[in-house]
């Protein structure tokens, strides 16, 4: 096993024990990147080569010099007897939706391709202060709009390390792929409708969407301001907990961060789960969607393998003393997607107003008749089709005459979805569950190019993840086996506000119960 394949926990341990150095770990990670990543995403990439199709392409920018300098500083601190931090020497990749000072911060869009951030996002700052080594910025769907990472303006877009003919998921595709390919033990992603959990599920890694407001959004290039959550992607639950320990907590720069103390996520990890009530909901074992012709709701059951993975997990957790509670109703789950369409588009259209070629980023080439022409050409040339789609939908549904009909209703539907969770978790309620156990996605990783053209179907696949974004509750996706094509299956745990600790605990219990499962010794295609 290479140094870069070690868990974050082990790296920090061995570093403190002076068994390895931070520079060595970083060099190992850089070597892995070179071996499996192929060329990084870029504008004007030209056509894909056969070689491209076998590589991961997680990165947009590898910050080699910077990383080695950070690693050297960690080693210096250790040698000097200074505290290097909780994540000392651990390589981490950052989804390129975060501003990191003096690095290109592109949002995977042409409109920010030339933007060098003048400040650093709070979660990244906290990681760096804790001694983590930032390897670089990884790829994503443009402005996080997508579930396959294919819509990035920086091509080649990331590929699933388990099968490079498949998508890594999105929008945090680069995050999940970089962790799955062993390029780094940790990545910082964002989750707006499942964009951490779904790629984590597709790539066989752990992904957490924290409670909304648990991790600061300062420096996160905004998509859906009331939905976006920065969160960890890791290879195991303990590492995710360690990273959360560092990034969680109130930030004076973000008024929506909660003044709730950060608990010790690591300490409670291995507590047993006896007596914990784990709920299963029929509404999460299917996808409900309106027929495009008739508009009537249709139900599609999930593939058997995925349902089996969840049920098996339930059995294993029951064997450890948890109580399984069946038939927890979450009736408003199916309204999550249309409400999400409206809320996210209204917020996105507004958040993208600032990209106007005036003070940063891309400005189209002149000469211009007037300012309006500059705006239109800049935004027309700078944005890809997905942002344009969202902007225009946002403009439409937020227009004064439709605002009541669409936007206000969507916010009311959000209340209804929230109520489902409150009822399920209510200690005085009927079901009194501590966590819900559900599938993460209705599919495993699909083929590249398969559904990019059809945005509605892609969006409905988020039906199992988006309710947590509406309600603000935390959600954890953990790997739970491989399907018959050898592709990872993910299962999801959903919990009450600020109770990431329970999710970690249950996730850890599942890991212990499946420690020796055969699928855990399988390697992704790029690492074989």
Partner 1 sequence: MTEYEPIIGLETHIQLNTTTKIFCGCKADSWFDPPNTNVCPVCCGLPGVLPVLNKAVVEKAVLLAAAMHAEIRDLSFFDRKNYFYPDLPKGYQISQFDQSLAKGGYLEVPMVQQGYTRRVGIWKLHIEEDAGKTKNEKGRRMIDFNRCGVPLVEMVTAPDLRSPDEAAQYLMRLRQLLRWLGISEADMEKAHLRCDANVSIRPKGADFLNPKTEIKNVNSIDAVRDAIAKEIERQTRETEAGRKIEAWTLEWDEDAGRLKKMRSKETEADYRYFREPDLLPVRLTAEWKAEILKDLPELPLERRQRFMTQYNLPEYDADILTGERKLSDYYEAAVKEFGGDPKKVSNWLMNDLLRMLNDRGITADQLKVTPEFLAQILKLVDGNTINTSTGKALLQKVEESGLAPQVIVEKEGLAKVSDDAVIRAACQEVIAESPKETEAYRGGKVTLLGWFVGQVMKKMRGKADPNLARGILEELLK
Partner 2 sequence: MTDQITPEVFSHLVELAALQLDPAEGEYIRRQLNNQLKSIHELEAIPLDNSLAPALHGVPYPAEISAAPRADVWQACPDVAAILSQAPQFEDGYIIVPDIPHTNLE
Residues 6+ apart with CB under 8 A from 242: 8, 9, 12, 86, 87, 265, 266
Residue 371 DSSP SS3: helix
The bridge status of strand 133-138 relative to strand 91-95 is: parallel
Judge whether 225 counts as a catalytic residue: no
Return d(Cα 142, Cα 382) in angstroms, integer.
Answer: 11
Alpha helix (H) ranges present in 2-160? 8-16, 22-36, 64-79, 122-129
Q: Which of 64, 68, 119, 431: binder of partner 1 (CB under 8 A)?
A: 119
Note whether 498 binds partner 1 by CB under 8 A.
no
Q: How far is the CB of 47 from partner 1 (least distance, A)?
A: 30
Residue 220 has which token pair?
Answer: 């996160």
Scanning 63-71, 85-93, 107-115, 478-486 for contacts with partner 1 by CB under 8 A, the matching segment is: 107-115
**Comparison of 89 and 123: residue with beta carbon closer to partner 1:** 123
**Comparison of 454 and 515: residue with beta carbon closer to partner 2:** 454
Q: How far is the CB of 128 from partner 2 (least distance, A)?
A: 16
**Comparison of 215 and 489: residue with beta carbon closer to partner 1:** 215
369 binds, among partner 1, partner 2, none (CB under 5 to 8 A by kind): partner 2
Note whether 398 binds partner 1 by CB under 8 A.
yes
* 149: alpha, beta or left? (left if phi > 0; alpha if psi -120 to 50): left
Active-site choice (157, 171, 281, 477): 171
222 binds, among partner 2, partner 1, none (CB under 5 to 8 A by kind): partner 1
> Cα separations (Å) of 211 from 200, 339, 405, 522?
17, 19, 29, 32
Judge whether 216 counts as a catalytic residue: no
Query: Which residues 328-367 are close enough to bind partner 1 by CB under 8 A?
Result: 346-347, 349-350, 352-356, 358-360
Return d(Cα 483, Cα 226) in angstroms, integer.
Answer: 34
Note whether 217 binds partner 1 by CB under 8 A.
yes
Return d(Cα 302, Cα 489) in angstroms, integer.
Answer: 12
Note whether 107 binds partner 1 by CB under 8 A.
yes
Residue 506 has which token pair?
Answer: 């249950």
Q: How far is the CB of 406 from partner 2 (least distance, A)?
A: 6
Q: Which of 176, 206, 221, 302: binder of partner 1 (CB under 8 A)?
A: 221
Query: Which residues 238-277 are close enough to bind partner 1 by CB under 8 A?
Result: 252-256
Judge whether 201 counts as a catalytic residue: no
Note whether 105 binds partner 1 by CB under 8 A.
yes
Beta strands in 161-303 (DSSP E): 186-191, 206-209, 229-234, 277-279, 286-290, 297-301
Contact assessment for residue 255 and residue 213, using Cβ atoms and an 8 Å cutoff? no
Backbone angles phi, psi at 206, to 5 degrees: -95, 135
Residues belonging to the active site:
95, 171, 195
- Contact residues toward partner 1 (CB under 8 A) are 98-99, 105, 107, 112, 115, 117-119, 121, 217-222, 225-226, 252-256, 346-347, 349-350, 352-356, 358-360, 371-372, 375, 395, 398-400, 403, 407
């Amino acid at each position: 096993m290479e140094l870069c394949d070690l868990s974050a926990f082990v790296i920090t341990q061995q570093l403190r024990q002076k068994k390895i150095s931070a520079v060595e770990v970083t060099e190992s990670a850089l070597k892995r990147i070179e071996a499996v990543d192929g060329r990084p995403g870029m504008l004007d990439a030209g056509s894909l080569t056969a070689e491209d199709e076998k590589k991961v392409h997680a990165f947009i920018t590898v910050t080699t010099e910077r990383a080695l300098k950070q690693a050297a500083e960690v080693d210096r601190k250790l040698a000097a007897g200074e505290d290097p931090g909780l994540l000392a020497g651990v390589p981490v990749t950052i989804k390129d939706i975060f501003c990191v000072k003096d690095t290109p911060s592109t949002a995977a869009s042409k409109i920010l391709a030339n933007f060098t951030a003048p400040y650093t996002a709070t979660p990244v700052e906290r990681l760096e202060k804790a001694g983590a080594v930032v390897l670089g910025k990884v790829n994503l769907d443009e402005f996080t709009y997508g579930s396959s990472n294919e819509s990035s303006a920086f091509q080649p877009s990331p590929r699933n390390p388990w099968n490079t003919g498949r998508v890594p998921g999105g929008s945090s595709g680069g995050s999940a792929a970089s962790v799955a390919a062993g390029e780094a033990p940790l990545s910082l992603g964002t989750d707006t409708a499942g964009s951490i959990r779904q790629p984590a599920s597709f790539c066989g890694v752990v992904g957490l969407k924290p409670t909304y407001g648990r991790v600061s959004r300062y420096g996160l290039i905004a998509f859906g301001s009331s939905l976006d959550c920065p969160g960890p992607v890791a290879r195991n639950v303990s590492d995710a907990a360690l990273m959360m320990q560092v990034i969680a907590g109130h930030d004076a720069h973000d008024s929506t961060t909660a003044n709730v103390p950060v608990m010790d996520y690591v300490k409670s990890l291995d507590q047993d789960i006896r007596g914990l009530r784990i709920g299963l909901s029929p509404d999460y074992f299917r996808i409900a969607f309106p027929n495009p012709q008739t508009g009537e709701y249709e139900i599609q059951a999930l593939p058997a393998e995925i349902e089996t993975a969840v049920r098996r997990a339930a059995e294993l957790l029951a064997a450890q003393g948890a109580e399984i509670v069946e038939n927890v109703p979450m009736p408003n789950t199916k309204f999550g997607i249309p409400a999400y369409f409206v809320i996210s588009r209204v917020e996105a259209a507004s958040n993208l107003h600032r990209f106007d070629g005036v003070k940063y980023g891309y400005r189209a080439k002149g000469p211009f008749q007037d300012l309006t022409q500059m705006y239109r050409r800049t935004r027309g040339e700078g944005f890809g089709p997905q942002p344009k789609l969202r902007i225009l939908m946002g403009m439409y549904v937020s227009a004064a005459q439709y605002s009541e009909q669409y936007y206000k209703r969507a916010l009311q539907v959000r209340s209804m979805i929230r109520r489902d969770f409150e009822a399920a978790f209510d200690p005085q309620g009927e079901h009194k569950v501590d966590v819900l156990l559900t599938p993460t996605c209705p599919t495993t990783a699909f083929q590249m190019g398969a559904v990019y053209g059809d945005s509605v179907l892609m969006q409905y696949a988020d039906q199992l993840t988006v309710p947590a974004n509406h309600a603000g509750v935390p959600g954890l996706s953990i790997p739970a086996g491989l399907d018959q094509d050898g592709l990872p299956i993910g299962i999801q745990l959903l919990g009450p506000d600020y109770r990431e600790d329970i999710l970690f605990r249950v996730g850890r219990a599942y890991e212990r119960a499946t420690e020796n499962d055969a699928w855990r010794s399988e390697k992704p295609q790029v690492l074989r």
